Amino acid sequence: MPGMKHKIAPSLLAADFLHLQQEIEMINNSEADWLHMDVMDGVFVPNISFGFPILEAVKPLLKKPLDVHLMIVEPQKFIREVAAAGAYLMNVHYEVSPHLRRTVSAIKEADMKAGVTLNPHTPIHLLEDIIQDIDMVLLMSVNPGFGGQKFIEHTVEKTARLKDMILRKGLHTLIEVDGGVNKETGKRLLTAGADVLVTGNFVFKSPNPMQVIKELKELTV
């Protein structure tokens, strides 16, 4: 929709975990819209990040909506924990959700927005019969599990096709993209129809994260 400003969701995975308080205060004082937090289990993805104690520790400090990305098997088992951590939005992967409609309903009943995440190889047409029930689609633009990876170019075209599906159905589902996002890839994703950009290393490993967030907010299509 023209005039609707895109959102920036910095990914805490790339932050300095010894100074989480300062990192959250930076997010609070920045133009970031959301904070993105990645929970991994070493089973669905070949890495382990952090779990609910860290989400709980961040909760009282954070003044922005929390966007939780679960990279775990059986995510439906943890809806209560994610809600208790104050999450605004809970993303589950399509690939580990055989009863996705039930999971989406349970997320909404827990007063959260429901997001469905697709791995790079998972086609968008699999969402044809669920997209009307979800608030957001999270497209992975790297293989999930690690920050700092190279952006998969195919995601730009995939974003455009997903946007077409959403418009064709007259929906307002948001599109979030995660992995290898910087100003250059971010601008092309926004042009293709992305609404929310997740960005880890590009923000947190820069000398001036607040300025980088501001520049990402100022991207125009």
Q: Does 69 bind Zn ion (CB under 5 A)?
A: yes
Count of residues in the chain: 221
Q: Does 38 bind Zn ion (CB under 5 A)?
A: yes
Query: Which of 97, 94, 35, 99 is closest to 68 using CA atoms?
Result: 35
Other residues' Cβ atoms within 10 Å of the Cβ of residue 132 = 12
The interface partner of residue 199, options being Zn ion, ligand DX5, none and the CB cut-off 5 to 8 Å by kind, is ligand DX5
| Pure H helices in 41-192 | 52-58, 79-84, 100-109, 154-168, 183-192
Structure tokens at 108: 């909404």
| Residue 68-87 contact track with ligand DX5, rule CB under 6 A, x = bound | -x------------------
Contact between 9 and 197 (Cβ < 8 Å): yes
Q: Does 115 bind ligand DX5 (CB under 6 A)?
A: no
Q: Does 181 bind ligand DX5 (CB under 6 A)?
A: yes
Contact between 194 and 177 (Cβ < 8 Å): yes
Candidates 23, 33, 178, 215; binder of Zn ion (CB under 5 A) is 178
- In the complex with ligand DX5, the residue whose CB is nearer, 145 or 193, is 145
**Alpha carbon distances (Å) from 66 to 18, 38, 103, 165:** 20, 11, 19, 27
Q: What is the DSSP letter of 44?
A: S
Q: Does 27 bind ligand DX5 (CB under 6 A)?
A: no
Q: Does 186 bind ligand DX5 (CB under 6 A)?
A: no
The residues of the shown chain that bind Zn ion, judged by CB under 5 A, are 38, 69, 178
Site for ligand DX5, rule CB under 6 A:
11, 13-14, 36, 38, 69, 142, 144-149, 178-181, 198-202
> Mind telling me the catalytic residues?
38, 178
